[in-house]
Amino acid sequence: MKRKFEHPAPSEREQLTGPAYWRSLDELQSTPGFRAQMEREFPEGADTLEGVDRRHFMKIMAASFALGGAGLAGCRRPEKFILPYGKSVEGVIPGLPSCYATAMPVRKWAIPLLAETHQGRPTKLEGNASFEPHGGAASLAAQASILDLYDPDRATAHTKAGATVTREQVDQILDTISQNYAATQGAGLAFLAEESSSPTRRRLVAALRAKFPRSVWAEYEPVTDEAPIAAAQAAFGAAVKPVYHFAKAKRIVSIDADFLQTEAGSLAHARGFAQGRRVAKKSDPMNRLYAVESGLTLTGSMADHRLRLSSSHMLSFAARLAAATYQQAVDQLVPYVHEIGVSQAWINECANDLLAQKGAALVVAGAHLPAEVHALVYGINVAIGAVGQTVEFIPIETTPGVSTISALATAIKGGSVKTLVILGGNPAYNAPADLGWAALQKSVGEVVRVGYHVDETTAASQGVVHVVRAHYLESWGDARTVDGTVVPVQPMIQPLFGGLTDNEIIARITGEKTPDSYALVATTITGLAGAGATAEKTMARFLHDGVLAKSAPRPVAVRFSVNGVRQLLGAPKPVIQFSAGNVEVRFVADHKMDDGRFANNGWLQECPDPITKISWDNAILVSPRLAKDLNIEPKGSAIQVARKEEAEFTMGKQSAPVFELTVGGRKIRGPVHIQPGLANYTVIVPLGYGRSVTGRVGKDAGFNAYPARASDAMHVASGTLTNTGTRALLANTQEHWSMEGRDIIREANYEPAATPDGKSYQENPAFVNTIGMESHAPSNIGPVGEKMTPQERAVQIPRGNSLYSTPKFDGHHQWGMSIDLNTCIGCNACVVACQAENNIPIVGKEQVMRGREMHWIRIDRYYSDGQIDGSAFGGEGNKMLPEEPQISLQPMTCVHCELAPCETVCPVNATVHDDEGINTMAYNRCIGTRYCANNCPYKVRRFNFFDWNQRKLDELYLGPLADFGTPELVKMAKNPEVSVRMRGVMEKCTYCVQRIQNAKIQHKVKMTREGKPGDVRVPDGTIKAACEQTCPVGAITFGDILDPNSAVSKAKAREQDYAVLGYLNVRPRTTYSGKLRNPNPKMPDYKPLPHSRTEYDRKNVPPSHDHGHAPAAHGAAKKGAH
Amino acid sequence: MSKLFPKSANTLPFQIVIYLVVLAGIATAGVTYYMTPKYTRVGYAPVQPVPFSHAQHVQEIGLDCRYCHSNVDKSGHSNIPSAQTCMNCHSVVKANSPLLAPVRESAEKGTPVPWVWIHTTPDYAYFNHAAHVNRGVSCVECHGKVNEMDVVSHSKPLSMAFCIECHRDPAARLRDPKDVFNLNSPRLADKGPEGLKTAQKFVHDWKVTPPQSCSGCHR
């Protein structure tokens, strides 16, 4: 939808109280009770009301009751009001959500989004499907970013030296700066900004620089997610950046690049990668991923061949791969080749595979790697014919005269900076430690800080002017996506606390009297749209589509310059061989906190890390080898001595030893977590935690790694680890890492082994039926039952002799889901999408440690190394931690069993089936016996142990003595279509029943209008569950299984589709498609079976077993449900 | 022992049981009568900020429900009209009536008129107007004869039992879709045996299957 709000001038009341949006009469009147509530917040670490003790609180509550009491009509019920609009708002129908296109800017790219708003209140973000490369997906951070809008700890007023100032005073301050520096052409004026892709900002900065040519404009980002320009400059002699087409790539080599998660454009990459990975039938091709990495990233977890290598050795690796792919360059590359412990056969076979798929292969390098590696990778891509096919280059707009934070620091030291304007960012927290930024900032006379939170940077200077920065959902703006397409940033709501955008501030300092952020954007966009375009039409189209058509720059032809690269490579440098005493330290952006910007976001804090599964904390990750050397290897399970765990768990809480990490004389302390799959002597240090000045969510979460990071070693450094002897507790949501040879995730290799064993996908696409209990027994419902519809099955073959009456499943639809384990990359976007859609509360670190997290969908992560000891302890022993594990990821949520074990044990019928096959929860019936959770084989039910929504997380144990109520701002984030649950009730995945019901109703209304009232079946694709909608790889398919042509029916028809724990005869509606691996049989590390299959065989098929039943016999035993 | 208790005490346990049963019966009857929506809700007719008369507007002027409740057939929520809608007429008719002062103020300033909420479902029950009025369920089924009310009062209990009763047997309550907003029209089933047949055909042809599962209303 398109619309520009003509916002009326704020009334006197609004100017006084801030929020232009109000939800209740209390808020409108700004009663003391409401204000008290506003300042309250629920997450952990919250103090009592600042300066308000309990007695005082009672007083003001009484005052607000008195105010409310005046209007009470009687004692029979509280009087509620319906507050219609005074003036109707065009296009708004109360009760129906509207969607608007916007975008979330991320460094030099952006994620196009659709925001769902309920009467002007955004509640949910989804990817904008108009931007084809993302196909409607949104990332974990984008899903969660809406919570920041409603963060009660965000800066709520402009301040100067801590005292509130009005908007007019802010304008005056900015005007004064503008006037003062007009004479000196800006000498003494400096700006420090975040990176941005906004064309408008670029235009405004150019104007600013034209007016103040002697000012300093510096940009700083603590982490980088794009290839350095220097590499392209050297290799191609042009300012270009790569745009990858993973969908076309059949062979991919990732050199320390986490292109599926942390690199710029990850959503588009993931989508393309999944297109090449998805296998629906035997004839479908499947791509192959080689990953060389020091850490264990999600990209690495998807790899078919994974090589552990220190990041410092990547140049050497790239040189060897380049030499193997382009023989002519061998002589020139030899000096850069060092002994790094990689077998030449590995590199040769990998190179041969790339060359065999010339034009359909691709090599990518991690953004954190030096330009030399990138330049070599560009060379390899030229050699394997990737350029123009799987990778194209687009010109980038460079802003001339952009300075760095180091140069700015030098200028400040030199005393030449009198006024410093900091736009966003948080340099006092995340600037390189050697700059000593906080002290430098203090030495500047005047500091204007534009920030979303009052943070370390605001606190670093005394007289700082803090200007509230608007959230992107409150701002007019624009941005470019990863391929250069211009997308709008459209406000969904007026700035709740009068925030300003960077653009407005830059424009005002440049001298514009009344900068209107909409007009600023409209000018840019009309300019970009070219001649003949009217501003009105262009903007209408732009805002409606959410993308500016044809705005992506055309790919340019590039010529590889050997000389340029030779110059860049320079003299060969020796490589460091790391050891336990001198480890490689890698600073990485955290999966959730990024560089620390999301520290106060409860959804992200509580979301477990995709790999470590730790929530609310970061940890120094070390390899099992290093752990052994450091003598911190866990002893293993107390019950089963032979089973080795990756961490020490006492009462379910991970107890981690705290180590001191010294990098270049700078020390930090943090808990150590043993992470299988790391390069032996590389430690991974996630940034973004340990914020000292932040809101109540981010406080005390994790440790701060920035103090160990210097400007000469921003990404990779070397350091030493020393044990402090203390321990810290971590909230780890997955205690156990091994599947122990069970059949929960069923895997096969795509191609047959050299000696065919019938176990590969090509040989037996229905391989899942040869694994697990079902392979040894006939189907629970027999061959006849397998062919039945759900109705027939329910009526004719109910569970034997059960008193519980089986539902009839006679609805117009029967809902089901299929999850493709082959494409799931474990990004966790679904977890937070579900949380946003279904009003799922956060519970805080302490409660996560008790296993009380509330996520309806979780991603289980398992390691396997094929080394399971088949004879020990019933074949369940893992006597060592795997160093080179294979990773299997499985999204797990309620599978909506047709014969649900939870239902039969509920004493009050609170969980029952509906006629369309959904296992529903009637919250108001639930009395909280938790029998259902006990009887759930999938462990997907979540219990509200406390009133998470109404109580502060640090006062949970005070019971009724604690404050009660949800802050208004937090209430605004809730989805009005879903009940907010209270203490003592069970909850779980509902297949997004609110979306189903609303879609059914809308369809019926539409069909009735069109004269086809009998058409009540919702067309396939109309309903997307929140997890399915945001999944960048399309791993989740939901729909009507009665319709044989629906996407979900087709997904379930895949031969590798199976029911987890299907032998229980619970007939789950959610089934899984087996995971495939595509290793290269010629590679030296080739294994004919996936490790998990090896472990399964070791445990379940004794060596003497003569494989009496052929695969065909196995195949007769079909999946439990479908 | 016989010294301790008189013979009449032998019947005491029995009497106690009788008393308890009677007491429980009275309590149950009391709760059922006094604590259910039938008693607590029906008849609720609060004083509104503006004494708006539905009877006058519908019967005298002949307004359709949807003139004011314009989104009732599109949205789950039946909207209360904005002051602007009122002012369509009242900028001319009774333009200076003191009773309409709140409406004029609302239209001018944009602040809402605080109408008192009468018909409401609990937060965990999701009622959808569009789903009902588009498929033969008239306003009158839940709201009573609002067209005859000077002061709107709660006329039906709107309890879960009330909902389920109709969901179990929709044919008995459906109207011709044309008559949904005509609050004086009879139900199809009330038009004799022929009407009942029409209603059953309606249910069959339109596939009217009101949900009786929890998920129909509770999310």
Q: What is the pLDDT of residues A963-1022, one digit of tens each?
A: 888 888 999 999 999 999 999 999 999 999 999 999 999 999 999 999 999 999 999 999
Cα nearest neighbour of A989 on chain B: B219
Q: Do A87 and B71 touch (CB under 8 A)?
A: no
Which pLDDT belongs to residue A408? Answer: 94
The C-alpha of A360 sits at a distance from chain B's nearest C-alpha, in angstroms, of 48
Q: Do A979 and B111 touch (CB under 8 A)?
A: no
For residue A1089, give both structure tokens.
Answer: 């079976």
Question: How confident is the model over A400-426, as a mean pLDDT?
Answer: 92
Question: How confident is the model over A579-589, as a mean pLDDT?
Answer: 93
Question: How confident is the model over A354-370, as a mean pLDDT?
Answer: 94
Which pLDDT belongs to residue A515? Answer: 87
Q: Which helix (H) or strand (E) holds A25?
A: helix A25-29
Tell me which chain A residues have a C-beta less than 8 angstroms from the C-beta of B126: 977, 994, 997
Q: Do A1009 and B215 touch (CB under 8 A)?
A: no
Assembly ipTM: 0.92
Query: How buried is residue A983: exposed, middle or buried, by Cβ count under 10 Å (0-12/13-18/19+)?
Result: middle
Tell me which chain A residues have a C-beta less than 8 angstroms from the C-beta of B216: 914, 997
Using the Cβ of B14 and the Cβ atoms of chain A, whether some distance falls under 8 Å is answered with: no
Single-letter residue type at A434: D
A592's CB contacts (< 8 A; 6+ apart) are A140, A141, A598, A604, A605, A607, A609, A688, A828
When pLDDT is cut at 50, 70 and 90, the band that residue A45 belongs to is very low
Nearest to A1016, CA basis, from A811, A802, A840, A812: A812
Rounded Cα distance, A360 and A386, in Å = 6
Decide if pLDDT at A871 tops 80.
no
A5-14, A313-322, A887-896, B177-186: segment of lowest average pLDDT: A5-14
Q: Do A924 and B107 touch (CB under 8 A)?
A: no
Using the Cβ of B76 and the Cβ atoms of chain A, whether some distance falls under 8 Å is answered with: yes
For residue A925, give both structure tokens.
Answer: 């019936």
Output the CATH code of domain A583-732: 2.40.40.20
Using the Cβ of B82 and the Cβ atoms of chain A, whether some distance falls under 8 Å is answered with: yes
Decide if pLDDT at A47 tops 50.
no
Which pLDDT belongs to residue A639? Answer: 53
The C-alpha of A994 sits at a distance from chain B's nearest C-alpha, in angstroms, of 6
Q: Do A85 and B46 touch (CB under 8 A)?
A: no
Rounded Cα distance, B187 and B169, in Å = 13
When pLDDT is cut at 50, 70 and 90, the band that residue A13 belongs to is very low
Q: Residue B78 in 3-state DSSP?
A: coil
Question: How confident is the model over A1066-1078, as a mean pLDDT?
Answer: 93
Written in H, E and C, the secondary structure of A233-273 is HHHHCCCEEEEECHHHCCEEEEECCCCCCCCCCHHHHHHHH
Using the Cβ of B213 and the Cβ atoms of chain A, whether some distance falls under 8 Å is answered with: yes
Query: How buried is residue B16: exposed, middle or buried, by Cβ count under 10 Å (0-12/13-18/19+)?
Result: exposed
Q: Which pLDDT tens digit goes with each residue over A116-169?
A: 999 889 999 999 999 999 999 999 999 999 999 999 999 999 999 889 999 999
Tell me which chain B residues have a C-beta less than 8 angstroms from the C-beta of A95: 71, 75-77, 79
Contact pairs from chain A to chain B, CB under 8 Å: 159
Mean pLDDT of chain A: 87
For residue A171, give both structure tokens.
Answer: 């304008």
Cα nearest neighbour of A919 on chain B: B215
Q: What pLDDT tens digit does each residue of chain B (219 aa) get?
A: 567 888 888 899 999 999 999 999 999 999 988 888 888 888 889 999 999 999 999 999 999 999 999 999 999 999 999 999 999 999 999 999 999 999 999 999 889 999 999 998 888 999 999 999 999 999 999 999 999 999 999 999 999 999 999 999 999 999 999 999 999 999 999 988 999 999 999 999 999 999 999 999 998
Phi, psi dihedrals of residue B122, rounded to the nearest 5°: -60, 160
Report the half-sphere exposure of A999 (CA within 13 A, side-chain side).
18
Residue A119 to residues A99, A147, A434, A1037, Cα–Cα distance (Å): 11, 18, 49, 30
Which pLDDT belongs to residue A401? Answer: 83
The three-point CA angle A960-A966-A972 to 5° equals: 165
Residue the block writes with tokens 């984008």 = A142
Decide if pLDDT at A5 tops 60.
no
Of B112, B120, B135, the CB nearest to A83: B112
Which pLDDT belongs to residue A954? Answer: 86
Which pLDDT belongs to residue A793? Answer: 82
In this structure, how many other beta carbons lie within 10 angstroms of the beta carbon of residue A632?
18
Print burial letters for A1039-1072: b (CB count within 10 Å at least 16), e (below 16): bbbbbeebbbbbbbebbbbbbbbbbbbbbbbbbb
Print burial letters for A1079-1092: b (CB count within 10 Å at least 16), e (below 16): bbeebeeebbbbbb
Strand pairing of A216-219 and A288-293?
unpaired
Question: How confident is the model over A542-566, as a mean pLDDT?
Answer: 91
Q: Do B46 and A912 touch (CB under 8 A)?
A: no
Which long-range contacts (C-beta less than 8 Å, at least 24 apart) are formed by A514-519? A517/A475, A517/A476, A517/A477, A518/A4, A518/A476
Nearest to A949, CA basis, from A978, A928, A925, A921: A978
Using the Cβ of B120 and the Cβ atoms of chain A, whether some distance falls under 8 Å is answered with: yes
Which pLDDT belongs to residue A841? Answer: 94
Using the Cβ of B124 and the Cβ atoms of chain A, whether some distance falls under 8 Å is answered with: yes
Tell me which chain B residues have a C-beta less than 8 angstroms from the C-beta of A1013: 135, 205-207
**Regarding predicted confidence, which is higher, A64 or A421?**
A421
Nearest to B82, CA basis, from A327, A87, A188, A891: A87
Q: Do B124 and A81 touch (CB under 8 A)?
A: no
Decide if pLDDT at A313 tops 90.
yes
Which pLDDT belongs to residue A637? Answer: 57
The C-alpha of A520 sits at a distance from chain B's nearest C-alpha, in angstroms, of 28
When pLDDT is cut at 50, 70 and 90, the band that residue A1121 belongs to is very low
Decide if pLDDT at A610 tops 80.
yes
Question: How confident is the model over A672-686, as a mean pLDDT?
Answer: 94
Q: How do the domains of chain A map onto residue ranges?
A: 159-220+404-545, 229-395, 583-732, 747-945+984-1114
Output the CATH code of domain A747-945+984-1114: 3.30.70.20
Residue A949 to residues A34, A205, A832, A981, A992, Cα–Cα distance (Å): 17, 44, 17, 8, 20
Q: Do A1009 and B134 touch (CB under 8 A)?
A: yes
Q: Which pLDDT tens digit goes with each residue over A221-239?
A: 999 989 999 999 999 999 9
Rounded Cα distance, A715 and A257, in Å = 13
Q: Do B83 and A87 touch (CB under 8 A)?
A: yes
Cα nearest neighbour of B217 on chain A: A997
Decide if pLDDT at A713 tops 60.
yes
3-state percent breakdown (helix, strand, coil) of chain B, nearest 5: 50, 0, 50
Tell me which chain B residues have a C-beta less than 8 angstroms from the C-beta of A1009: 134
Phi, psi dihedrals of residue A125, rounded to the nearest 5°: -115, 140
Q: How do the domains of chain B map onto residue ranges?
A: 7-35, 54-80+115-216
Which pLDDT belongs to residue A254? Answer: 96
**Regarding predicted confidence, which is higher, A86 or A66?**
A86
Tell me which chain B residues have a C-beta less than 8 angstroms from the C-beta of A996: 215
Q: Which pLDDT tens digit goes with each residue over B161-182?
A: 999 999 999 999 999 999 999 9
Q: Do B44 and A76 touch (CB under 8 A)?
A: yes
Rounded Cα distance, A256 and A119, in Å = 46
Decide if pLDDT at A35 tops 60.
no
Which pLDDT belongs to residue B29? Answer: 94
State percent of chain A over pLDDT 90. 68
Which pLDDT belongs to residue A59? Answer: 52
Output the CATH code of domain A229-395: 3.40.228.10
Rounded Cα distance, A605 and A148, in Å = 12
Residue the block writes with tokens 């087409």 = A245
Using the Cβ of B178 and the Cβ atoms of chain A, whether some distance falls under 8 Å is answered with: no
Q: Which helix (H) or strand (E) holds A393?
A: strand A391-395
Decide if pLDDT at A828 tops 80.
yes
Q: Do B218 and A1008 touch (CB under 8 A)?
A: no
Cα nearest neighbour of A914 on chain B: B213
Of A81, A912, A978, the CB nearest to B116: A81
Phi, psi dihedrals of residue A781, rounded to the nearest 5°: -110, 5
Rounded Cα distance, A102 and A812, in Å = 36
When pLDDT is cut at 50, 70 and 90, the band that residue A63 belongs to is very low
Q: Residue A659 in 3-state DSSP?
A: strand
Q: Do A1001 and B76 touch (CB under 8 A)?
A: yes
Which pLDDT belongs to residue A468? Answer: 95
| Helix ranges, chain B (H) | 12-34, 37-40, 54-55, 65-68, 83-90, 101-109, 129-133, 139-143, 160-168, 192-205
Of B75, B211, B214, the CB nearest to A94: B75
Tell me which chain B residues have a C-beta less than 8 angstroms from the C-beta of A88: 82, 84-85
Identical fold at A229-395 and A583-732?
A: no
Tell me which chain B residues have a C-beta less than 8 angstroms from the C-beta of A988: none
Of A80, A914, A922, the CB nearest to B117: A80
Cα nearest neighbour of B34 on chain A: A76
A813's CB contacts (< 8 A; 6+ apart) are A916, A1000, A1017, A1018, A1040, A1042, A1043
CATH architecture of the domain with residue range A159-220+404-545: 3-Layer(aba) Sandwich (3.40)
Tell me which chain A residues have a C-beta less than 8 angstroms from the C-beta of B109: 11, 86
When pLDDT is cut at 50, 70 and 90, the band that residue A858 belongs to is very high
Question: How confident is the model over A295-308, as a mean pLDDT?
Answer: 94
Q: Do B218 and A922 touch (CB under 8 A)?
A: yes
Question: How confident is the model over A1102-1117, as a mean pLDDT?
Answer: 44
DSSP state, residue B56: I
Tell me which chain A residues have a C-beta less than 8 angstroms from the C-beta of B130: 1001-1002, 1005
Tell me which chain A residues have a C-beta less than 8 angstroms from the C-beta of B207: 812, 1013-1014, 1016
